[in-house]
Structure 1
Amino acid sequence: MFLLALTWAFVSKSLSGTYMNSMLTQIERQFDIPTSIVGFINGSFEIGNLLLIIFVSYFGTKLHRPIMIGIGCVVMGLGCFLISLPHFLMDRYEYETTISSSSNLSSNSFLCSGNRSQTLLPTHDPSECVKEIKSLMWIYVVVGNIIRGIGETPIMPLGILETGMIIGPLIGLMLGSFCAKLYVDTGSVNTDDLTITPADTRWVGAWWVGFLICAGVNILTSIPFFFFPKTLPKEGLEDNADVAKSDKEEKHQEKAKEEKHFLPFMKSLSCNPIYMLFILISVLQFNAFINSFTFMPKYLEQQYGKSTAEIVFLIGMKSHDFLSSTFPSHKDMISSLYNLPPICVGYLIGGLIMKKFKITVKKAAYIAFCLSLTEYLLSFFNFMMACDNFPVAGLTTSYEGIQQPLYEDHKVLVDCNTRCSCLNKTWDPVCGDNGLSYMSACLAGCEKSVGTGINMVFQNCSCIQSSGNASAVLGLCNKSPDCTIKLQYFLIVSVFGCFIYSLSAIPGYMVLLRCIKSEEKSLGIGLHAFCTRIFAGIPAPIYFGALIDRTCLHWGTLKCVVFNRRIYLGLPAALRGSSFIPGIVILILMRKVQLPGEIDFSETEHSEMKLTEKKGEHKNVHGSPEVENDKDLKTKL
């Protein structure tokens, strides 16, 4: 029953974690905040986790474990509720548009007309790529995510169970896809009056609904833990009370010895070049992976022209979260659910190879390095799976449909719309029947409209040069079918990459365990996890988000339409590439030194043979009464 409850706790925690990452784009639009703030929100989970991890790890064995896990689930639920709170405290979301549902649409005041005088506002210089934060309500989201990180802390060190990590992300992404299709103010506004769809960059889904669901699930999950005893009864405990007492005293002495030698252990680890280089490699690779996975929905959405709901659904239909399965100590983060099957197969094959061929730690290091390098080189194919920018007249292309470089002197006012007295600051795109998008119906030279809401059609558009009736509809034009094919290739490359990388995971972890002394393992693994969180988990999303803010094409009210793939793909590639330099140094050092934990399988077999011979001698000399003691000895050995 305890394992069942713990599995459900893992489901609920990974559910809320995955849902949080899938809704980052919606939160960014809701609060109109820079991507760097979004990265800080994402990293705030790690901050909350680190605030309590040392306390829980140290006192967890002394306190009531089930109750601590139950309290953690409740705290996670409260954090999720706090994240959703701004929706009930803020005014309704208003997206930027030239069309007002409250205005008289028959007047066509938002269309091309030379009968009114309006001040034409210049377009913004892309170097002024800064968003003005209009509301501080996002602080609730940060605090809620910190609290969620605090609540998750007791679950990880007190119960390591990964089964729920498979189901939770799948449910979380399905929930995210559903909520992204609902309008943020659904129930309080008439959605028939909306002039945007879920595919529009101004659309904000009902992100708060999912957090309320996550809050309820986490709180309900906590209930069974308050009814479990502090310890579970063990079979034969009464008959072996003295043995149990002796084991307890031995563990206490070992723990006291570890505490006494904390500083010497720290000094020994810091002077271990292979261990320190391994930490450096982990920090560099974690920075690359965290950046890629945190902003993957944003990248796929803007690169391949898909809506948030479509992207989240596509990710959810495939498989599980990469880092949480590769590095169980790391937090939940969205990756691709299509990655889980190849990862599981990779782990299985990697483990079988290690056991079948009795790979030594030095050979394991070479295997891990070569496989990781192969996957790294394979990832460069993603640079070829890129789509062109949305064709927007006056921004990414000319009004004749000729593509032009970004950040050059864009001209949104031309002969066909100069007489229209358009506002060239507002982003309200329409798609012409010539396949070209325009910043607004007015800038497309449209003179009249038919219909209401998202079904509105604009006609007599002087800037649209086509063989049709020169009409336009709301929203950006779809990207070419080739772009969808490239997205499929991107996912296929990711699947193969995850399989190859998972093959290297077990040999790589073996190097970490064998490069430190046995008495230093606990501290060494903890320090490794601590460094990756401090130097990767927290800062990586923040600085990566800041770079995204500076590499987007902006105009008007500083709305971003293009996500620079060179940064998204290039920076992680540079970080991972630099990690191979300390990797090469480790391979060189391992050829010259004997690792503290290195024991060849041949030596192990020889020791087992000697132990068997001694066992036979011991049995002949002392007779049958010693058999049980000999079994105990063998068990301990």
Structure 2
Amino acid sequence: MAAKTELSDSRKNSNQYSTDVPSSVKKKIKCSNGLKMFMIALSFSYICKSLAGTVMKSSITHIERRFGTTSSEAGLIDGSFEMGNLMFLTLVSHFGSKSHIPRIIGTGCFIMGIGSILTCSPHFFMGYYRYDSALTVKPLENSTGIYTPCSTDLNLTGYSESSALLKSGCKNESGLPMWIYVLMGNMLRGIGETPITPLGITYIDNFAEEGHSTFYIGILHSLSMFGPLFGFLLGSLCAKLYVDIGYVDLNTITIKPTDSRWVGAWWLGFLIMGILSIAAGIPFFFIPKSLEKPTKERKISASLNIASTNESRSQRTNFKNPEQKKESKNLAGFFHSLKRILSNWMYIIYLIHSLFSFSSFIGYVTFMTKFLEQYFGQSISKLNFFIGIIIMPVISISIFLGGFISRKLKLKTLGIIKLLFISYICATAFQVLLLSFNCERRSVAGLTVTYDGNNLRTHPQNTSFPFCNSECNCDANLWDPVCGDNGITYMSPCLAGCKSSVGHGNDLVFHNCSCIEVHNFQSSTTSAHLGQCSMSDDCSRNFIYFMAVQALSSFFVGLGGPSKMVLTFKNVEPELKSLAVAIHLLILRTLGGILAPIYFGAAIDSSCLKWATNNCGGKGACRIYDSISYRNIFFSLCVGLNVPSIILLIILYMVMKKKYGKNNTGQSSNGEIDVDESNLREPLKNNKQFITSVHEDSETHI
């Protein structure tokens, strides 16, 4: 009887075991499928957010021209993303991890999409883009398509008509500038991107198998690099298309993509990004709040359940009001931890070093395409294309190579800082080398040269009306450059003294130009063509060399990327790592991401030679810069920020070498233990979102 009972119990246990195995397998498969779905959705959102950031960087010059802003105002628009992102970063990171993470990320994608659509919305309410053009001048009577830019009759000039348009446009203009809506949309996009990185990595770390979360994060980093690549290519396409494409006859457009008045279809990129971002948020609403952990981990946690239960019971008996005491303890502990971090000189030195280097990087990336356009005479569409297919792949390869070198050589703290120092020295050296690729200053009559071809030694003062065009009743504010047969660019055909014209659209040619005749008296041709005179062949070759050296500089910048991430928390105690990275992120994005584009733009504005005129007659966007001054100011700021950054890196190395010893064996000279990466492995597991956000969640790390 006992044997029969034992046999039945064994069968029962075996049946129960046989039913438990498929159940656990099903749960594991369900968990795996849910995590895979989350990874696919998160990867798509990563690509969308980096793609949107790159579209903004590649479109900032066109936004400046379309809304008639200065470079400093354009820098404020660009930095508004950081403002919105920083406002909610701490709140989302703290409270979002306790809520339904996928739904919060999906909501963030929706907000990000709405922000992108709001950014491009002013295009549909502003009317058609108007630029200064000689075609606004009235033609002669009984003639077709023949314009007389230089005329003694005010009724035959566009001066009175343009003045009336200015007055009416000023009256109809609202009190709030339209670029404010672009700023608000960019800020809203920053708010929407806030939960993607910190909460996404938290979800992966919570429900991935042990040791697999790092692999998944690596996949996200790799896929996110496609965003800047496609972003610059999309920016190149949009910059090539005219802003009002589909609404105006392109045959009537008299400017080309190389013209400083050209505005591409900047809004199209944001519209596409808005749709993609909204689509990226949909899958997150079908992902559950939590996933089942794998079977092995559940068994391990079950074996520790009794101990944890006993510990929690002892905590309940020891504290009558644990929440209140825990809150007070955390508040006091926060200020104590903050004091320990701010009194850590190695951390402070590295923080200031990072701020200098980050500000230089942000300013350079924001205004690099504008500099290349002004200095080498290339179109923004072409520049965005070259950056997308040359610079971005080089940076991606160098970041991977920097991590591979650190792992292959098993670099410790001093080795990592040496690699970072070498990368900074090489990147700065190549950046200084870029100054050797010279292009001549454009010869613009009345701005850079006199009307007889001599160089102007000082900033032009009332040099627009020499004797050759003094009777033409020209509008000095008009910027519609023409290239004379003498190789000099004139600000308008009227200021060139041209009395007749033949042709239509881009083929318009002006003849009988008195100012060209005075300078070119030995030649029988005194005509001018629309547009500025092209740069020399030597300048075109220097542009190719410039891009090659720029690729080398970008390679060394990327090579030190992994070292910068590690050194952020290398010199603090493991329990202070999260707070140290959060402070590092806050300072860099506030003083670097927001302020750097503003003061870079203000410095660049000082080199402007000719400002456009807005509807109320005020200062608009800059039409032409003194290219030499622009170059000197631009690179002086970049190198000027990099030099103290390198000096601080040397000081940090000396301090760390004194602490950790010459052999870098992990034992410092005063007996302290080196904080190696292996010591931080466990604390890092719970705070990966902060580390990744330094590199990934920043708008400017493209």
Alignment match, 2:360: 288
Alignment match, 2:638: 572
Q: Determine which of 114, 118, 121 is the counterpart of 1:78.
A: 114
What is the CA-CA distance between 1:473 and the residue it aligns to?
1.3
2:652 matched to 1:586? yes
Q: 1:399 to 1:44 in 2, by over 3 A?
A: same
Alignment match, 2:369: 297
The whole-number CA distance in structure 1 between the counterparts of 2:91 and 2:63 is 32
What is the CA-CA distance between 1:476 and the residue it aligns to?
0.8
What is the CA-CA distance between 1:286 and the residue it aligns to?
0.8
Q: 1:556 to 1:165 in 2, by over 3 A?
A: closer
Q: Determine which of 498, 515, 532 is the counterpart of 1:463.
A: 515
The whole-number CA distance in structure 2 between the counterparts of 1:517 and 1:546 is 41
Q: Which moved more, 1:307-316 or 1:257-266?
A: 257-266
SS of aligned partner of 1:60: helix
- Contact between 1:395 and 1:406, CA under 8 Å: does it hold in 2? no
- Contact between 1:371 and 1:500, CA under 8 Å: does it hold in 2? yes
Alignment match, 1:335: none
What is the CA-CA distance between 1:250 and the residue it aligns to?
12
- Contact between 1:31 and 1:133, CA under 8 Å: does it hold in 2? no
Output the amino acid matched with 1:91: G
Match runs of 1:55-454 below 5 Å: 55-100=91-136, 106=144, 108=146, 110-114=148-152, 136-160=177-201, 161-236=220-295, 238-243=298-303, 261-318=333-390, 338-341=391-394, 343-405=395-457, 407-409=459-461, 411-454=463-506
Alignment match, 1:35: 71
What is the CA-CA distance between 1:599 and the residue it aligns to?
6.0
SS of aligned partner of 2:529: strand
What is the CA-CA distance between 1:194 and the residue it aligns to?
2.0
Alignment match, 1:493: 549
Q: 1:599 to 1:508 in 2, by over 3 A?
A: farther
Residue segments in structure 2 that go unaligned for 5+ positions in a row:
1-36, 161-172, 202-219, 316-325, 614-618, 674-684, 686-702
What is the CA-CA distance between 1:191 and the residue it aligns to?
2.5
- Contact between 2:148 and 2:501, CA under 8 Å: does it hold in 1? no
Q: 1:535 to 1:418 in 2, by over 3 A?
A: same
- Contact between 1:406 and 1:553, CA under 8 Å: does it hold in 2? no
Q: 1:264 to 1:10 in 2, by over 3 A?
A: same
- Contact between 1:70 and 1:226, CA under 8 Å: does it hold in 2? yes
What do residues 67-113 of structure 1 show as CA deviations (whole Å, max 9, x unaligned)?
11111110000001111111122232211223228867748554223
The whole-number CA distance in structure 2 between the counterparts of 1:16 and 1:271 is 38
Q: Which moved more, 1:39-48 or 1:344-353?
A: 344-353
Output the amino acid matched with 1:368: L
What do residues 481-505 of structure 1 show as CA deviations (whole Å, max 9, x unaligned)?
2222222222211221222233333
Output the amino acid matched with 1:305: G
The whole-number CA distance in structure 2 between the counterparts of 1:505 and 1:583 is 15
The whole-number CA distance in structure 2 between the counterparts of 1:448 and 1:266 is 74
What is the CA-CA distance between 1:40 and the residue it aligns to?
0.7
What is the CA-CA distance between 1:152 and the residue it aligns to?
0.3
SS of aligned partner of 2:515: coil
Output the amino acid matched with 2:413: V
SS of aligned partner of 1:61: helix
- Please say which structure displays the higher CA radius of gyration: 2
- Contact between 2:251 and 2:505, CA under 8 Å: does it hold in 1? yes
Alignment match, 1:126: none
Q: Which moved more, 1:227-236 or 1:553-562?
A: 553-562
The whole-number CA distance in structure 1 between the counterparts of 2:91 and 2:477 is 53
Alignment match, 2:56: 20
The whole-number CA distance in structure 2 between the counterparts of 1:251 and 1:169 is 50
Output the amino acid matched with 1:112: C
What is the CA-CA distance between 1:555 and the residue it aligns to?
5.5
Alignment match, 2:624: 561
The whole-number CA distance in structure 2 between the counterparts of 1:195 and 1:5 is 45
- Contact between 2:424 and 2:646, CA under 8 Å: does it hold in 1? no
Q: Which moved more, 1:233-242 or 1:215-224?
A: 233-242
Q: Determine which of 558, 568, 574 is the counterpart of 1:518.
A: 574
What is the CA-CA distance between 1:268 and the residue it aligns to?
0.6
Q: Which moved more, 1:150-159 or 1:578-587?
A: 578-587
SS of aligned partner of 2:569: helix
What is the CA-CA distance between 1:269 and the residue it aligns to?
0.4
What is the CA-CA distance between 1:417 and the residue it aligns to?
2.3
Output the amino acid matched with 1:415: F
- Contact between 1:32 and 1:134, CA under 8 Å: does it hold in 2? no
What is the CA-CA distance between 1:114 and the residue it aligns to?
3.9
SS of aligned partner of 1:419: coil
The whole-number CA distance in structure 1 between the counterparts of 2:524 and 2:304 is 87
- Contact between 2:149 and 2:493, CA under 8 Å: does it hold in 1? yes
Output the amino acid matched with 1:495: A
Output the amino acid matched with 1:66: P
Q: 1:346 to 1:436 in 2, by over 3 A?
A: same
Output the amino acid matched with 2:181: Y
The whole-number CA distance in structure 2 between the counterparts of 1:250 and 1:554 is 77
What is the CA-CA distance between 1:305 and the residue it aligns to?
0.8
Alignment match, 1:545: 601
Q: 1:250 to 1:185 in 2, by over 3 A?
A: farther
Alignment match, 1:474: 530
What is the CA-CA distance between 1:301 and the residue it aligns to?
1.1
Output the amino acid matched with 1:182: L
Output the amino acid matched with 2:228: P
What is the CA-CA distance between 1:426 and the residue it aligns to?
1.2
The whole-number CA distance in structure 1 between the counterparts of 2:106 and 2:281 is 4
SS of aligned partner of 1:553: strand
Output the amino acid matched with 2:624: V
What is the CA-CA distance between 1:280 and the residue it aligns to?
0.4
The whole-number CA distance in structure 2 between the counterparts of 1:140 and 1:348 is 38
- Contact between 2:446 and 2:460, CA under 8 Å: does it hold in 1? no
SS of aligned partner of 1:95: coil
The whole-number CA distance in structure 1 between the counterparts of 2:311 and 2:72 is 47
SS of aligned partner of 1:280: helix
Paired residues, what number? 572
The whole-number CA distance in structure 1 between the counterparts of 2:128 and 2:443 is 31
SS of aligned partner of 2:501: strand
Q: Which moved more, 1:211-220 or 1:435-444?
A: 435-444
What is the CA-CA distance between 1:282 and the residue it aligns to?
0.6
The whole-number CA distance in structure 2 between the counterparts of 1:358 and 1:317 is 32
What is the CA-CA distance between 1:274 and the residue it aligns to?
0.4
SS of aligned partner of 1:589: helix
The whole-number CA distance in structure 2 between the counterparts of 1:503 and 1:170 is 18
- Contact between 2:261 and 2:623, CA under 8 Å: does it hold in 1? no
The whole-number CA distance in structure 2 between the counterparts of 1:534 and 1:101 is 49
The whole-number CA distance in structure 1 between the counterparts of 2:263 and 2:307 is 58
Q: Which has the higher helix share?
A: 2
What is the CA-CA distance between 1:226 and the residue it aligns to?
0.6
SS of aligned partner of 2:445: coil
Output the amino acid matched with 1:404: L
What is the CA-CA distance between 1:247 and the residue it aligns to?
10
- Contact between 1:339 and 1:494, CA under 8 Å: does it hold in 2? no
Alignment match, 1:631: none
What do residues 366-389 of structure 1 show as CA deviations (whole Å, max 9, x unaligned)?
342243123212211111123223
What is the CA-CA distance between 1:119 and the residue it aligns to?
12
- Contact between 2:80 and 2:186, CA under 8 Å: does it hold in 1? yes
What do residues 421-449 of structure 1 show as CA deviations (whole Å, max 9, x unaligned)?
33333111111233221111122222211
Output the amino acid matched with 1:453: G
